[in-house]
Amino acid sequence: MPLLNEAESLTELVERIVNVAASQKWTYEIILVDDGSTDSSWSVVKGLSESNPDVHGIRFRRNYGKSAALQCGFEQACGRVVATLDADLQDAPEELPEMAKMITEDGFEVVSGWKKKRKDNAFTKNIPSKLYNFTARKVTGIKIHDMNCGIKVYDGEVVKNIEVYGEMHRYIPYLAKNAGFSRITEKPVAHSKRKFGKSKFGMNRFVNGLLDLMSLSFTSRFSKKPMHFFGFSGILMFLAGFIMTVWIIAAKLIHQSQGIPYRAVTEQPLFYLALLAVVLGTLLFLAGFICELISRNAHDRNHYNIKERF
């Protein structure tokens, strides 16, 4: 669980998780990642760990963000099934047993929560969230309704084969898909109003989320073959500029041969558009060439996720 200034909610949340684990007779660990809290959250984490040896804590020196907290938690986690949930008590730990069964019994690799009935402000969260998730479904091809839901359950192999960075925690199902884990589903989960504190995310998360989605979609498709994008785009633009140039020259020669008045080439807006297209096309092609050289020298150029080996 990543947390930032959630001192009031941690004790209740951990108690509920422990009760769920006991009811299921699970062998478990709880990893709390303090993302640079400025309140007494870390003192609470240490107190919980002292009373329960299955509670572990990681503390950042400053705030790095939710993605960094999740990545560090994933690196330390060693369970057959790994679950994440937010530390603000809006996610219900009581949902975990059914979600875990979907991993262990039904064979799914990622089960994402779906806050079907949100207890948030409709204008600032519900409506923007619906638009955001609609866009994410169209771009990623993953048919789940709540990509950014905090409560998720994973097969342990998934979290060891993905890298969560920047603000990519919003798209972990897409990261899993790109890593070769295709059995992704969702489950409607209960959602509660925040009991303590306030949300750590503002309206800018939707703009940032859209930009991250574009970046992730591009890198997943072209990171190992950048020339396919930049080179193709550059050739198209160069050809467009070349055709416009030929058109201008041909039109001038035809008009001159027929004695028809004709404006100078440099007085025509089309000439400058043609020049711009040729220059941009050349630059895009060169950018693709340089990116290809960088890609071929990347340390992970031959890194592949192997599912089985004989």
Residue range 4-38, pLDDT digits in tens: 999 999 999 999 999 999 999 999 999 999 999 99
Distance separating alpha carbons of residues 41 and 31, to the nearest angstrom: 14
Q: Tell me, what DSSP letter sits at residue 122? A: I
pTM over 0.85: no
pLDDT at position 187 = 94
Phi, psi torsion values for 59, nearest 5 degrees: -125, 125
- Quote the longest CA-to-CA distance of the chain: 97
Half-sphere CA count of 63, side-chain side, radius 13 A: 10
15: left (phi over 0), alpha (psi -120 to 50) or beta: alpha
**What is the per-residue burial (b if ≥16 Cβ within 10 Å, else e) of 39-61?**
eebbebbeebbeeeebbbbbebe
pLDDT at position 116 = 80
Q: Which residues pair with 34 in a beta bridge?
A: 3, 59
Average pLDDT score over the chain: 86
Residues of the chain below pLDDT 70? 119-126, 197-207, 209, 223, 298-309
β-pair type (55-59, 2-3): unpaired
pLDDT at position 253 = 84
pLDDT at position 24 = 94
Q: What is the pLDDT of residues 168-209, one digit of tens each?
A: 888 899 899 988 899 999 999 988 777 776 665 555 666 676
The per-residue DSSP string of 137-170 comes to HHHH----S-TT-S-EEEEHHHHHS----TTGGG
Q: Are 83 and 152 in contact (CB under 8 A)?
A: yes
Q: Are 24 and 54 in contact (CB under 8 A)?
A: no
The per-residue DSSP string of 4-64 comes to SS-HHHHHHHHHHHHHHHHHHT----EEEEE-S-SSSHHHHHHHHHHH-TTEEEEE-SS--
Distance separating alpha carbons of residues 106 and 282, to the nearest angstrom: 52
Q: Which residues of 115-254 form beta strands (DSSP E)?
A: 152-155, 184-188
pLDDT at position 203 = 58
Closest to 55 (Cα-Cα) out of 18, 23, 107: 18
The sign one gets for the Cα dihedral 157, 162, 168, 172 is negative
Indicate the class that CATH gives domain 2-222.
alpha beta
pLDDT at position 303 = 62
